[in-house]
Structure 1
Amino acid sequence: MADPARSAPPSAAGTLRSGADTARRATRSEMFRRLARLGHVANGILHVLIGLLAFDLARGGGGDADQSGAAGLLADNPAGLVLLWITVAGCASLSVWHLAAAVWGGDETLDRVKDAGKAVVFAAVASTFAAAGVGAGRDSGEATRSFTATLLEHPAGATLLVAIGLVIVGIGGHHIHKGMTRRFVKDLTSPSREDVSRALTVTGVVGYTAKGIVLALVGALFVLAVVQHDPSQSTGMDGALKTLLAQPFGPWLLGAVGLGLVLYGVYEFLRSRYDRMPG
């Protein structure tokens, strides 16, 4: 006679646990690690392109120096389209990797929150590039202005925007601190070659600092939009870089930050090989 306990169908909770275990094993597999490392390559491509667009702005050019501008640059030629879809795949993979770390990571709540935030950021970048790839791209600065205007129409919107701005400023400050103190080295395995180690250090210090400056400006523009009750002040990364351009010695400042973003991209290329990628 069959054992009723063994013949009974699995419970919904059991099915969910089984599915979660399967997903956890999949995201910790070597194949998925390689896909996640591709995400660092994709992030490198993104920052190199934004840095080059910043250089173009500093030299009097036009266009948007942000994610949508970078995506549009790749979408405009057949060879670039290959890089564009590599970026989509890499950012999507890295988003899932960080999501898995947020769900199944260590016991530190702050680390989980940071991984969840990174998952959202990389998913958004993947979405922006995918939209450009199918001809449905949208201006990132315009999207930021629209988001700001929508929130300002609600009673609690201004408070939320200030909170968002201060959080982004804090993230920018964290990047600057991480670069200047070389804390990013903890994320990496030690290269066997001294020249590679030196390249990681130089590109990491300069790159993290430059990216932190840009993020801090992006956050400050959110706060400025609330103070002046003017959504047009909040224009994302493109607006932050153009704000630099409007300052005394603006082209030089923007050129230096553009170089820093390019070096951050180079750091991400190297990081794809030497990141610890904890399981």
Structure 2
Amino acid sequence: MESPGPNGQPSSGSTAGESSVSPAGETPGESLGAVVGGAAEAVSDSVMLDVVARSGFAVMALLHIVIGAIAVALVFGAPGQAEPTGAIEQLAANPWGPAVMWAGFVACAGLSLWQLSEATLRARHLPRGKRLGKLVSSGFLSIAYGSVGLSFAGFALGNRGDSGDSTRDFSTVLVNSPYGAPALVGLGLTVIGIGVYFIVKGAGKRFKEELAHFEGTRRGHVISSLGVAGHIAKGLALILTGLLFVIAAATNDPGSSTGLDGSLKALQDHPFGPALLLLIGAGFIAYGAFALLRARFGRM
């Protein structure tokens, strides 16, 4: 029971039998944690990080456009690697290559950091189930965007590699490890699942909420068409890439898993492959155009 103060009102002090708690019922330690978490979340919501993350989305959009152009060129016999490393190599070939490479690194690093904040700081207010899903999805994207950023940095420093070789080396190490073949099958099925997700998202136009303010306008119809074609094309490419992982595990031939570039080039050996490759390339260009609009106008 509180003792009265000088004016007959209860004093602010606690008796020996009561613990000090915050008005919300949190202990001081919990309150400090909430304050620190809130401060970190405020930093993640800063205008600077928003601008850098949007520039990262724009860089990824540009890479999709270049990959699509390379895929289309492959149909007509031109050389090239239809995957991120090949696209970065094309961008590095211009006179401002080093500056473009470092700008790409900063943009992708910022986008990776933004996705990390999505997976952790911003997701802490969600229900537990949704929080776990956000941790997995945004965490995976954070790693993926960070990897692309490192590729930009590698080109800026003169360390150029072939992602197809990297994929083969990774598959070889995985197959030769204990339980390697099942793990490679699991990886392939995961990539296939992501591809199916993109197709479902595109066919169902589930991307509309990202650009909701264009809904019902003529520009909105164009954006919707780009989104449908782009998501389906990317989904098909991911399914082909995942199938190569599964085939590599089933045949014990890790050299057959050559990543996105190898999966697209493999289409050239099939009767309707060139036509499908042309459609996928055009779809990647459409996805890149959609992603540029997402980078500029989409909600963050």
Structure-1-length-normalised TM-score: 0.89
Q: Is the 8 A contact 2:92 2:100 kept in 1?
A: no
Q: Are 1:260 and 2:276 matched, yes or no? A: no
Q: Is the 8 A contact 1:129 1:137 kept in 2?
A: no
Aligned-pair CA distance for 1:38: 1.1
Q: Are 1:54 and 2:77 matched, yes or no? A: no
Q: Give the corresponding residue for 1:6.
A: none
- What do the CA deviations read for 1:39-73 (whole angstroms, capped 9, x no partner)? 11011111001011101111112221111111111
- What do the CA deviations read for 1:136-195 (whole angstroms, capped 9, x no partner)? 021101000000000111121111111111011000000000001100112223138823
Aligned-pair CA distance for 1:31: 2.1
Alignment of 1:145-160 (within 5 A): 145-160=168-183
Which residue among 252, 265, 269 is the counterpart of 1:229?
Answer: 252
Aligned AA (1:156): Y
1:143, 1:249 → 2: CA distance? 29
Q: Are 1:36 and 2:58 matched, yes or no? A: no
- What do the CA deviations read for 1:83-128 (whole angstroms, capped 9, x no partner)? 4333322221111111111112133121221000110110111111
Q: For the aligned residues, what is the CA RMSD?
A: 2.2
Q: Percent identity?
A: 36
Which residue among 268, 272, 276 is the counterpart of 2:295?
Answer: 272
Q: Is the 8 A contact 1:42 1:86 kept in 2?
A: no
Q: Give the corresponding residue for 2:212.
A: 189
Residues paired across the two proteins, number = 267
Q: Give the corresponding residue for 1:251.
A: 274
Aligned AA (1:207): G
Q: Is the 8 A contact 1:74 1:81 kept in 2?
A: no
Structure-2-length-normalised TM-score: 0.83
1:164, 1:82 → 2: CA distance? 35
The change in CA–CA distance for 1:206 and 1:62 in structure 2 (over 3 A counts) is same
Q: Give the corresponding residue for 1:174.
A: 197
1:221, 1:192 → 2: CA distance? 38
Q: Give the corresponding residue for 2:149.
A: 126
Ranked by relative contact order (alpha carbons within 8 Å, sequence separation 6 or more), the top structure is 1
1:211, 1:49 → 2: CA distance? 14
SS of residue paired to 2:213: coil
2:101, 2:217 → 1: CA distance? 32
Q: Are 1:239 and 2:262 matched, yes or no? A: yes
Aligned-pair CA distance for 1:23: 3.2
Structure 2 unaligned runs (5+)?
1-28
- Structure (1 or 2) with the greater helix fraction: 1
SS of residue paired to 1:189: helix
Aligned-pair CA distance for 1:82: 4.1
Alignment of 1:45-124 (within 5 A): 45-104=62-121, 105=123, 106-107=126-127, 108=130, 109-124=132-147
1:156, 1:209 → 2: CA distance? 33
2:82, 2:137 → 1: CA distance? 25
SS of residue paired to 1:78: coil
